[in-house]
């Protein structure tokens, strides 16, 4: 058994990995679409630029939906991986390196091909984006699948996940704090506060470097625990991958609820910078939101183990959803008040790390639920569902963001002064009204269908241990 000191440093190393991982996630899920709509296409023909934005948005949506069918096979392959470094770390390291290089290339116009040869650009874009997404997915599945390999105890998993989420919150919100200062510092032209291609490329290189360094620290500082319960007597074949996921009913319902909820959450999060650029007219104020979210996010995550012991995960989930709904209402009423906008956006962000952890812990506990129900253990296959859902939500919201940006005139060359009242109203419908409904529906599904509690998981683990002892007597 690992000593308390070695456990502590292992958790720190794991947190460094998730820190870098969420730096990359935010670059990809939030800021890449802003780069596409505000900087990537800059010809003299605005109709052509809008058309190209629509094509790129469609390519991203199609590729990410196609890649969703690949993720379970990635998880299944990781489950079968056996190396001297464990099953997870090789995927984390290789995935981080390839994804970082690929995304840096995507944050360019590839030597002016967007203007000189748009068709060649689109072909190369699709190929590089697919490579990036597959390797990012392998890293994403591997890094979060490590949690059930570290402990069978729900509370111990919560502590480990808390360290991990502190790292990921800090990474995600740090990138929110530095994105515009970095972009504008390296930009040759501020472009109405949205920066230029040089600034965005520098941002991608810095972020990709941080993500890769975090993966290296994780690889050097963590070690999987060994347990007889983790030794699969029967491996899941490729043809059984989807049937395994569908038969684990608790995993399925958590995934559905989290998908609907995530669509609403992502819409607000991904439109935040648009709000600061095109409604407030001051992108530099966006950094303050990043600082606020770092502070409140770290506080929320640090309190997670205490809150779950006092209130239970289920009650914490619904309390967090209530706070987010209030935040959306206040955000919609903020208008051009910077202080009101920062307060409302911060309130909306406050419970998000808690909800992520509740969902992650519930999905993690479905590993043993499925093991008892189906007769074999699928750690990475089960844990791939959470990033799979995140990517599906990200793909759909990314498509909606591109379409909305074109619809309301928030594309290259636009400023807060050029947005009409009608377009501003339409923008707020998509940013606030739709997310409010989606988050509420997701909570209703969770309440009705997700029944796997901490106590039920403890009973399942005890039953699994009894069965294992009986088989080995």
Nearest to 327 by CA among 283, 269, 286, 274: 269
The pLDDT tens digits for 201-257 are 999 999 999 999 999 999 888 777 665 444 554 455 545 556 677 788 899 999 999
Reference 396, options 222, 280, 236, 260; nearest CA is 260
In a domain, 229, yes or no: no
The domain total for the chain is 2
The phi, psi pair for 56, rounded to 5°, reads -65, -45
Average pLDDT over residues 334-355: 92
Indicate yes or no: pTM above 0.75. no
Given a cut of 80, is residue 134 above it in pLDDT? Answer: yes
* 262 and 410 part of one domain: yes
What are the C-alpha distances in Å from 137 to residues 75, 140, 306, 368, 388? 9, 5, 31, 23, 8
Give percent of the chain above pLDDT 70.
89
Residue 254 domain flag: yes
**Cα–Cα distance, 61 to 73 (Å, whole number):** 20
- Asked if 203 and 296 sit in the same domain, the reply is no
State whether 192 and 240 are in the same domain. Answer: no
* Model pLDDT, residue 151: 62
How far is it, in rounded angstroms, from Cα 135 to Cα 138? 5
List the one residue out of 41, 103, 283, 110 whose CA is nearest residue 182: 283
Tell me which of 201, 224, 247 is where a domain ends.
224
Please check whether residues 245 and 199 belong to one and the same domain. no
Do 200 and 242 share a domain, yes or no?
A: no
- Quick one: which of 228, 241, 257 has its CA closest to 75? 241
* CA gap 448, 121 in Å, rounded: 47
DSSP type of residue 188? S
**What pLDDT is recorded for position 230?**
47
pLDDT score for 470: 66
Give the closest residue to 96 by CA, choosing from 9, 183, 177, 21. 21
Residue 358 within a domain: yes
For residue range 424-467, list pLDDT tens digits in order: 999 999 999 999 999 999 999 999 999 998 888 888 888 887 77
Q: Is the predicted pLDDT of residue 275 greater than 90, yes or no? A: yes
> Are 46 and 177 found together in one domain?
yes
Helix (H, G, I), strand (E, B) or coil at 279: helix
Q: What is d(CA 333, CA 428) in angstroms, rounded to the nearest whole number? A: 10
Q: What is the pLDDT of residue 3?
A: 61
- Of the given ranges (70-79, 94-103, 170-179, 319-328), which has the lowest mean pLDDT? 70-79
Residues 202 and 292 reside in one and the same domain: no
CATH code: domain of residue 133: 1.20.1250.20
Q: Report yes or no: 106 and 203 within 8 Å, Cβ to Cβ.
A: no
- Provide the mean pLDDT of the chain: 84
Place of tokens 């289920």: 314
Task: Please check whether residues 256 and 219 belong to one and the same domain.
Answer: no
Q: 148 and 278: one domain?
A: no
Tell me how far apart the alpha carbons of residues 274 and 283 are, in angstroms, rounded to a whole number.
8
Whether residue 57 is contained in a domain is answered as yes
Element (H, E) at 387: helix 385-407
Q: How far apart are CA 296 and CA 320, in angstroms?
A: 13
Return the percentage of the chain with pLDDT > 90, whole number.
32
Task: Quote the pLDDT of residue 24.
Answer: 93
CA distance 165 to 77: 25
Choose one of 189, 224, 259: the last residue of a domain. 224
The answer to whether the beta carbons of residues 209 and 171 sit under 8 Å apart is no
Residues 345 and 378 in one domain: yes
Q: Write down the pLDDT at residue 473.
A: 57
Closest CA to 37 of 412, 391, 459, 354: 412
Alpha-carbon gap, residue 449 to 272, rounded angstroms: 32
**Poorest-confidence range of 154-168, 192-206, 254-268?**
154-168
Residue 258 sits in the same domain as residue 206: no
* Highest averaged pLDDT of the listed ranges 132-141, 224-233, 372-381: 132-141
Is residue 83 in a domain?
A: yes
Q: Are residues 190 and 156 in the same domain?
A: yes
Which of 177, 194, 224 is where one domain is finished? Answer: 224
Spatial separation of the C-alpha atoms in residues 93 and 217, rounded to whole Å: 10
Greatest mean pLDDT range, 282-296, 338-352, 355-369, 392-406: 338-352
DSSP letters along 37-84, please? IIII---S-HHHHHHHHHHHHHHHHHHHHHHHTTHHHHHHHHHH---T
Phi-psi region of 2 (alpha: psi -120 to 50; beta: other; left: phi over 0): beta
- The pLDDT of 105-127, averaged and rounded, is 90
Phi, psi for residue 334 in degrees, rounded to 5: -70, -30
Least confident of 223-232, 239-248, 362-371, 414-423: 223-232
Q: What is the pLDDT of residues 19-55, one digit of tens each?
A: 999 999 889 877 888 888 877 877 667 777 788 888 9
Q: Which domain holds residue 180?
A: 1-224
Q: Judge contact between 206 and 2, C-beta under 8 A.
A: no
DSSP for residue 225: P
* More confident of the two residues 161 and 227: 161
Instruction: Report the pLDDT value the prediction gives residue 465, as an integer from 0 to 100.
Output: 78
Distance CA 89, CA 72 (A): 18
- Whether residue 421 is contained in a domain is answered as yes
């Amino acid at each position: 058994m690992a000593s308390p000191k070695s456990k502590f440093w292992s958790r720190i190393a794991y947190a460094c990995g998730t820190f870098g991982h969420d730096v990359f996630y935010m670059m990809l899920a939030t800021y890449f679409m802003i780069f596409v709509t505000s900087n990537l296409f800059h010809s003299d023909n605005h109709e052509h630029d809008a058309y190209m934005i629509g094509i790129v948005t469609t390519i991203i949506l199609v590729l990410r939906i196609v890649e969703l069918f690949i993720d379970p096979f990635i998880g299944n392959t990781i489950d079968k991986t056996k190396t001297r470094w464990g099953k997870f770390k090789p995927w984390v390291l290789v995935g981080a390196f390839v994804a970082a290089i690929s995304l840096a290339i995507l944050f360019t116009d590839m030597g002016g091909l967007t203007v000189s040869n748009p068709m060649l650009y689109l072909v190369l874009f699709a190929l590089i984006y697919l490579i990036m997404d597959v390797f990012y997915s392998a890293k994403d599945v591997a890094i979060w699948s490590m949690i059930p390999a570290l402990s069978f105890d729900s509370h111990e998993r919560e502590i480990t996940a808390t360290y991990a989420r502190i790292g990921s919150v800090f990474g995600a919100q740090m990138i929110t704090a530095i994105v515009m200062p970095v972009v504008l510092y390296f930009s040759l032209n501020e472009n109405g506060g949205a920066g230029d291609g040089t600034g965005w490329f520098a941002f991608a290189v810095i972020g990709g470097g941080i993500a890769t360094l975090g993966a290296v620290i994780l690889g050097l500082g963590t070690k999987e625990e060994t347990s007889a319960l983790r030794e699969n007597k029967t491996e899941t074949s490729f043809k059984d991958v989807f049937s395994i996921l569908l038969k684990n009913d608790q995993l399925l319902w958590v995934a559905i609820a989290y998908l609907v909820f995530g669509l609403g959450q992502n819409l607000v999060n991904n439109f935040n910078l648009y709000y600061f650029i095109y409604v407030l007219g001051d992108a530099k104020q966006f950094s303050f939101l990043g600082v606020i979210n770092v502070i409140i996010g770290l506080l929320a995550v640090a309190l997670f183990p205490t809150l779950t012991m006092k209130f239970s995960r289920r009650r914490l989930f619904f309390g967090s959803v209530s706070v987010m709904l209030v935040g959306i209402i206040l955000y919609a009423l903020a208008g051009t008040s910077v202080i009101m906008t920062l307060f409302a956006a911060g309130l909306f962000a406050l419970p998000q790390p808690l909800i992520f952890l509740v969902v992650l812990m519930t999905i993690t506990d479905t590993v043993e639920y499925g093991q008892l129900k189906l007769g074999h253990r699928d750690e990475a296959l089960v844990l791939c569902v959470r990033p799979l859902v995140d990517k599906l939500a990200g793909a759909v919201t990314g498509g909606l963001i591109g379409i909305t940006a074109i619809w309301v005139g928030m594309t290259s060359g636009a400023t807060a002064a050029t947005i009409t009242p009608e377009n501003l109203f339409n923008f707020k419908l998509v940013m606030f009204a739709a997310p409010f409904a989606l988050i509420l529906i997701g909570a209703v599904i969770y309440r009705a269908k997700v029944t796997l509690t901490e106590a039920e998981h403890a009973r399942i683990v005890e039953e699994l241990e009894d069965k294992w002892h009986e088989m080995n007597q």
